[in-house]
Structure 1
């Protein structure tokens, strides 16, 4: 049990987040630096040099799909087991564990979608110095060097990646604590001396050799005791204190470290979540990047501090190749990044060195060898899954604050959107909607008729999200607490009792979501007869699931809390992953497996993309936070989590009208589009800043709604292929070094380039338009611009610089209504941006927008192509069965000359002439009312 707190202490705990919120910056002293983290400091004190590990080649065993080999540390003679796998899709898996640990070490479950399929391994060469293995793809090989141990992956003459080349493999083996060893030694020595006395009293001096042997044994035991003493002398190995919190470590030191070097690489990305640049910075002379899910209030920018989520995936990129490292470990992890030089082919190249340090577990690394960015995304998706396919409405606009006061407030806000003609799909309720912070409940006074409230929203084809957090109020009268407690589903403290900490309800228990039984029970609580007042248009938000513990170390759970056989330190970064998993499963189950869920989570890990959306947490109403939302979401997209957004307007503080407008304009072009604000901030519904700003916000939101068909298509592809929705320019232009560090603009898919205005008082922005020989069209003016240039764009307050790539076709719905569902059967407008070669290509994807029926081939998927003056629609999925009432009401061509005629031909052979308008100054051709069904076969010929 957590130590009791008096009333004043409780008040301080509850007010702690509010106190933080009015401070100017996060209190860094509440969070560890590497120097304050004992295992990180120990590992970082190990400097590059010759590794003490060597490979024992005589232990090598090779099956069809796996190579095993023992490694020995010549300093302490501890042996490790190395496992190597060649995986399908040009990947290599490296696992290192103790050969004979005192007890099992934690290996992360549930993150991989399946056991990765393997391919045969073969030995190409072997001698006393090492082994060469074929990796199948072209001339790729894996070289194992024996003394010192080292792995190199090479392609022809080039080294792609070296492992342990800097000698930073460190594997702290499980051991007995010194006082335990001393006790055993003392007992053994005492027993030995008793035997000696007995022997000496009954035998002659001629038998003294036996006594000398015993004395030697005693001396050896004494040496063991001295060796154990030396181990314990290092700080923090068996217990560690941070501020007032003590962390007992019954398993002792268990940390691991391994270094990776990328010859010829200067740009690396990934390892979110950090409020930092897209390109990862060198950590030499500063703290490493930290991966440890934490509740950080008003986080700082340009800082490697840990935030709410952790995805241990890093990508390297050059003009020649993209690769990835997936470090499958859920414990606290630090990532050091540095640079050095390597020599290849007689010339010196820059090199990026990456060192991973984790507190416990094993080394389990997936090397994704690309070679293209799209290949790395596919490789990672094959391991951890793809982005879940959200309901279409979830891609629309969400309105939230902490908190809407009551049902009348919800109705007033809902009516306000209609009054001001601003569409929205979801309204959100934060923690105050519950009965005393008891989740799955409603405040009996303020939200006494939740079904009536939800029905009113449903009548307008709108939806609601309520917050359901994983800290459970300890209250014997609360059903959720009673059931979790009676089933033994709470996390335990080190003494075996239920772990309790302080969070929003006061004293709270924390369910052990690592248990499948707990997750199944949690999922069952979302059933309509369990979550009283819920309906099919109610969805869920999981917050505070790092987990947040106000009176815990670093505002989170004690590491020596217990999840069955494992300590919390082993599983910490998985907790939010499991909470979202169980919640998503609950929303699916309540509909009998028919409806797609929508779940937003704050904490996440590798694989979280399978369960819903994330956001960038408690940001602030500052221009810097608006800017940082771009690289933060780009970084998440690179590691599989496409459904990302930032609180529009900033959670903390009060945005100026200008900042709020610019944030709406940026948010309208980011995947998750939600406004949110802190309890203590003034209300900021879109119509509260004067009619001029209301009009600007309305226009930004309407732009989002017109593009919903394109957003939905992008998410369909992300779900099918693992390709990111919002992506850096270098993903589509991997050979163009000018794109490698760009983070103030981005691509949606490959066809829309967005450069939000993120500077106060800006009168212009400079956008880089990539692509030699390509053209880009301003989507507002239709003006054509050449690629491979920096384009200065004058801006006013209504400017959102967006460009469509020449050679693309994008579908829009331009009849914007109050919600996305109201637009379901509305017609499409096709925007055909013609390339310099006179061609264009795109797609149109349609399904019911909310069920899993698309998995049963119930969808429409059309290819739209334009070449030689003919635009045609062909079926990409002939086996699919779905119909739509939507039709094509307009086709807009950009970059064409005026035709004499425009003729529509349908599948039945009929032809009809189409009316059109042409603007020669912008080369814009607009065809009116083709009138064909969106799922039909047709062509339009320009002559």
Structure 2
């Protein structure tokens, strides 16, 4: 939110009390408390003037938090994000009336405590990262809101905001903030952390994460579930302005210095990403959204895949598996599926896993509505009635997941579906959550619950699945999220259009989410809204099958390939078979991500931070550590991409996945034209990539048929973890790969030097 009008003026109706001085401070163990006030000329300046209390702490080594509080008398109704915490890693040095130095591992905060010289400087190994310079900590009073009434006279109130402005350096670039569909580099943007169902073509987003990464070697996490506004060089061109409509604001500086180390520390703080079962890496097919389908339709699709030798791992029933107006009642529509139990059994006999669509809403026509109303399972209005509206489902209510009894009630219907044979759930929606004139069972602040609700919803479903299937076989397909949501994978990009532009914005959204603590992501292959032309369908298939998860899904039209031409079937067959043979590589990269927060799909600068050319690239990515992917976003097959600089001691060149005689120089741009049987997939020099061409399904025998693709000369032996497909948290075998041998397994050597 902007409060200023240029450098010298404020917006009409806005006042800001800027903190300029450290009045006093105290140190207790690893915590520093500071009392900040305005410019002080004499003792009279302490009257009729606000203060801001600042508390400095360090939850984990390399992370320093600052909590700024104006009025401390507010009721804390929650909720709060769960953060991991330890002690014993901080050091504090204080020189009275001069400075305070707070050190946490390699990260240091220096506070200028000289009279009227307030300043914060966060520094790493190579000097200043960010900080607060002149007029950058303040309390804002805004009289442009409903809260301000002139008739109140002496007791006239303004809407209050805590404001913290963090310095930016020359050339500094910013990334992340959840799944955002605009430019990957966030400089110049205004971002509101507020979950909305806005599609993929606007400033709104389903997955808002108040965490950004700087190219300068640090990240910033704003620790509040409420609405956060960020002006990223869009109000002050030398700062990021962070404001919250509240009396307190807490942010944490997360040190790197590399992007990988920032993500490692951030996910250590907010929670490591969970892993998913191996079968989920196979192709998913859905009924699409508003299409007409029944058992015969679904069976015809499945027969078509089998006849064309296209591997398929998961079949998903979207909304209309339930009767209209009754979402959710968790009952198969008996008109379309008269023998749902038997049909699910027959699908499983085909080797398929089953997914069904759900949401946290209950329409008034659902038999569950009366149960929820009578037992107090729904979010209520302040007068005690059930909160309802007609958006989406007529008269729908929203399950109150702060009520343990409501959670058990909801989970009971999920368990019954899993007993029928359902393996996983698409947890749709959870963005349209009211925040005014409503109350929760546990008394939580509705404004803070708006974003947080998605965590409660996904947690209930995910933990219910674990109770039935076990951790190694559980996953969701979720649309909305908030910090910590990486514990409940997988997440998909939401409702995109069927255009090349939407395909590109989907990639940008996925890469931004991958810089926010998440390691798995998918898009609606072919686009959700509209019907894709064949060229787009094939290009999105290529891209979608080089994402961590791959789902064919649309709105009013099906996404089975032969509808768009049998050549589309051939492209899909080749792409999914390529992904399946990459299973050992994908499982290895996922396990590494679970341990460190490193995503499977990576912006190039995450892997090559020394190459400044990579910092603006958002139309290509790395799939894991070893494979560069440049999707084709044009009908004629033309694509321009950049090959990043590898370390000088790396032997060999980047090599085409499809033609090992075709090599690429590091630090060079290329333009190529590809038919639909290829796209730029480049193998990194000096890399070892585990493959298994004999696999028919991702959950198959990992060791029989295992081989290793070695590109260039290895300067040392490489240790590769072969993950157990039945328990993706476990390593089945560790193989040491040298230049020409791999403990008896086949080595495919690329001589690219």
- Which residue pairs with 2:383 in the alignment? 495
CA deviation vs aligned residue, 1:153-177 (integer Å, no higher than 9, x gap): 2357833211364435325699xx9
What residue is the counterpart of 1:544 in the other structure?
Answer: 429
Matches within 5 A, 1:262-273: 262-273=168-179
Tell me the equivalent position of 1:618: 495
**In structure 2, what is the equivalent of residue 14 of structure 1?**
none
Give the match's secondary structure for 2:606.
helix
SS at match of 2:633: coil
Question: Which residue number corresponds to residue 104 of structure 1?
Answer: 75
Q: Aligned partners of 2:475, 2:137: CA distance in 1, in Å?
A: 43
2:609 is aligned with 1:734: yes
2:386 pairs with 1:417: no
In the alignment, structure 2 segments of 5+ residues that lack a partner are 39-45
Match of 2:437 in 1: 560
**Equivalence map 1:301-340=2 (5 Å):** 303=202, 305-318=203-216, 322-338=217-233
Write the distance in 2 (CA, Å) between the matches of 1:542 and 1:75.
53
Residue 846 in 1 paired to residue 736 in 2?
no
1:468 positional shift: 1.2
For 1:254 and 1:585, locate their aligned partners in 2 and report how far apart those are by CA, in whole Å: 38
2:36 matched to which residue of 1?
71
Using a 3 Å threshold, how does the CA distance of structure 1 residues 845 and 502 change in structure 2: closer, same or farther? Answer: farther
> 1:803 and 1:727 mapped to 2: Cα distance?
14
The alpha-carbon distance between structure 1 residues 798 and 75, as it changes in their structure 2 partners (threshold 3 A), is: farther
Task: Work out whether residues 141 and 155 of structure 1, in 8 Å CA contact, stay in contact via their aligned partners in 2.
Answer: no
SS at match of 1:600: coil
**Do structure 1's residue 437 and structure 2's residue 327 form an aligned pair?**
yes
1:581 and 2:549 aligned: no
Task: Compute the displacement of 1:62 (Å).
Answer: 1.0
1:9-44: CA deviation from partner (whole Å, max 9, x where unpaired): xxxxxxxxxxxxxxxxxxxxxxxxx69x99xxxx98
Q: Does 1:672 align with 2:532?
A: no
Change (3 A) 1:872 1:736: same
CA separation of 1:822 and 1:812: change in aligned 2, threshold 3 A: same
Is 1:123 paired with 2:93? yes
Tell me the residue number matched to 1:28: none
Question: SS at the partner of 1:505?
Answer: coil
Other structure's SS at 1:615 match: coil
Q: For residue 280 of structure 1, what is the aligned residue in structure 2?
A: 186
Asked if 1 retains the 8 angstrom alpha-carbon contact of 2:177 and 2:211, the reply is yes
In the alignment, does 2:294 pair up with 1:406? yes
Residue 228 (structure 1) aligned with residue 155 (structure 2) = yes
Match of 2:369 in 1: 481
Larger mean Cα displacement after TM superposition, 713-722 or 490-499: 490-499
Conserved 8 A contact 2:20-2:36 = yes
Indicate whether 1:132 and 2:106 are aligned: no
- Look up the SS of the partner of 1:580 in the other structure: helix
Q: In 2 relative to 1, CA 274–595 (structure 1 residues): closer, same or farther, beyond 3 Å?
A: closer
CA contact (8 A) 2:589 2:625 kept: no
Aligned match of 2:732: 860
CA contact (8 A) 1:52 1:148 kept: no
Query: Residues 724 and 822 of structure 1: is their aligned pair in 2 closer, same or farther, counting only changes over 3 Å?
Result: closer
Q: Does residue 707 of structure 1 match 2:582?
A: yes
Q: How far does the alpha carbon of each residue in 1:184-213 deviate from its partner, in whole angstroms, 9 at most, with x for none?
A: xxxxxxxxxxxxxxxxxxxxxxxxxxxxxx
Within the candidate set 564, 580, 596, 1:721 is matched to 596
Q: Secondary structure at the match of 1:270?
A: strand
> What is the CA distance between 1:578 and its match in structure 2?
1.4
Provide the rounded CA distance (Å) in 1 between the counterparts of 2:183 and 2:215: 15
Among residues 53, 56, 63, which one is paired with 1:91 in the alignment? 63
Distance 2:710 2:126 in 1: 45
766 and 88 in structure 1: CA distance in 2 versus 1, 3 angstrom threshold: closer
CA contact (8 A) 1:259 1:354 kept: yes
Deviation (angstroms), 1:727: 0.9
Q: TM-score, normalised by structure 1?
A: 0.72
| Structure 1: stretches of 5+ with no match in the other structure | 1-33, 183-224, 233-252, 342-350, 548-555, 874-886, 896-921, 924-943
- Three-state SS of the structure 2 residue aligned to 1:368 is strand
Once the 2 structures are TM-superposed, how far is the Cα of residue 892 of structure 1 from its aligned partner?
0.8
Give the secondary structure class of the aligned counterpart of 1:527.
Answer: helix
Structure 1 position 807, deviation (Å):
1.4
CA contact (8 A) 1:65 1:121 kept: yes
Name the residue aligned to 2:685: 806
Matches within 5 A, 1:48-63: 52-58=18-24, 60-63=25-28
- Deviation per CA, 1:606-645: give whole Å up to 9, x if none: 1111011111111000110111222211111111112112
**1:586-605 maps to which residues of 2 (within 5 A)?**
586-591=464-469, 593=470, 595-605=472-482
Query: SS at 1:258's partner residue?
Result: strand
Gap change, CA 1:152 and 1:710, over 3 Å in 2: same
Shift in alpha-carbon separation, 1:644–1:139, aligned structure 2, 3 A: closer
Alignment of 1:662 with 2:628, yes or no, is no
Compute the displacement of 1:560 (Å). 3.1
State the Cα distance separating 1:368 from its structure 2 match.
0.4
Q: Distance in 2 between matches of 1:745 and 1:149?
A: 43
Are the structure 2 counterparts of residues 117 and 561 from structure 1 closer, same or farther at C-alpha, using a change threshold of 3 Å?
Answer: farther
2:122 pairs with 1:153 = yes
Equivalent residue in structure 1 for 2:264, among 355, 359, 378: 378
Find the residue that maps to 1:412 and give its secondary structure.
helix
Query: Structure 1's 90 and 49: CA in aligned 2 closer, same or farther, altered over 3 A?
Result: farther
2:346 is aligned with 1:462: no
TM-superposed CA distance for 1:825, in Å, is 6.8
Q: What is the CA distance between 1:340 and its match in structure 2? A: 10
- Structure 1 residue 434: Cα displacement: 1.0
Superposition TM-score, scaled by structure 2 size:
0.90
Give runs of aligned pairs for residues 24-35 of structure 1, distance below 5 A.
Answer: none
Match of 2:42 in 1: none
CA distance in 1, matches of 2:186, 2:550: 26
Shift of 1:57: 3.4
| Post-superposition CA distance 1:845-901 (Å, at most 9, x none) | 2214357xx4xxx5324143325xx5344xxxxxxxxxxxxx94x321111xxxxxx
1:767–1:793 CA contact under 8 A, matched in 2:
no
Could you tell me how far apart the structure 1 residues matched to 2:261 and 2:500 are? Answer: 35
Q: Tell me: CA distance 1:834–1:497, structure 2 relative to 1, closer, same or farther (3 Å).
A: same
8 Å CA contact retained: 2:193, 2:228:
yes
1:781 corresponds in structure 2 to 659
Kept in 2, the 8 Å contact 1:439–1:468? The answer is: no
Judged with a 3 Å threshold, the aligned counterparts in structure 2 of structure 1 residues 114 and 87 are, in CA distance, closer, same or farther, namely closer
Q: Which has the larger radius of gyration?
A: 1
Asked if the contact 1:98/1:173 (under 8 Å) is kept, the reply is no
